[in-house]
Amino acid sequence: MARKKEIRRQQILDVAYNLALSEGIESLTARNIAQAGDFSTQPIYLEFKNMEDLRTQVLEIISVNLKTKILQKSYTGGALIDLDLSYINFAKEHVDLFRAMFVDGKLGSAIIADTLLNLGIEKFNEEYSKYNLSEKKTKQVVMANWISATGIAALIINQVATFSEEQIVNVLKAQILDAIDNENLSQVENNPMFSTSDKE
């Protein structure tokens, strides 16, 4: 009996995850998930406390996949630049999900925000360790980099501008080096992008 319940729960999560990828987090209603999975809404309410519980678990799956697969592509051999390019290409391939990740100009989930920030710090330390920056300064540089990468992605998916990979790489490399040298970067921590809507 317990085994059957586990399979049912995983089936619901699989359907919800694929729906989020194709149509965004906002599409995750009980009715939409049930229609996509060809089952009734009843098992959804049996397996999850509420829809917020289900969405949180889907965000955790997205977070794990971002960290282990989606944002681990190799393009240039530079750890942080490759992370940025993976993120921009993810935005192009999953426009609705990318847009749904943001609410009122900020990341809509602390789960996603923390994943991006921690992964960015890891990749920065891998590629730019020679600069021996403090933990605080590293965080500021990474936040500035995510803001730049998100801006480029937004310009592309909204068809405001097009860029070659070389142009994107050149812009991001220049931005990172500028941020490393910038002594007045403390204000970046006040940027609303990482003030997530589910953080107090």
Q: Distance between CA atoms of 145 and 139, rounded to whole angstroms?
A: 10
Average pLDDT over residues 69-82: 96
Average pLDDT, integer, range 111-127:
94
Mean per-residue pLDDT of the chain: 89
Which domains are delineated in the chain?
A: 2-58 (1.10.10), 71-194 (no CATH)
Buried b / exposed e across 31-60, counting CB within 10 Å, b at 16+? ebbbebbeeeeebbeebbeeeeebbebbbe
Q: What is the pLDDT of residue 109?
A: 78
Lowest mean pLDDT among 24-33, 144-153, 156-165, 179-188: 179-188
Cα–Cα distance, 200 to 141 (Å, whole number): 24
Residue 24 has pLDDT above 50, yes or no: yes
Q: Terminus-to-terminus CA distance in the chain, angstroms?
A: 39
Average the pLDDT over 32-44 and give the result.
93
- Where residue 200 falls among pLDDT bands split at 50, 70, 90? very low
Predicted confidence (pLDDT) per residue in 87-103, tens digit? 999 999 988 888 877 65
> Between 187 and 197, where is the model more confident?
187
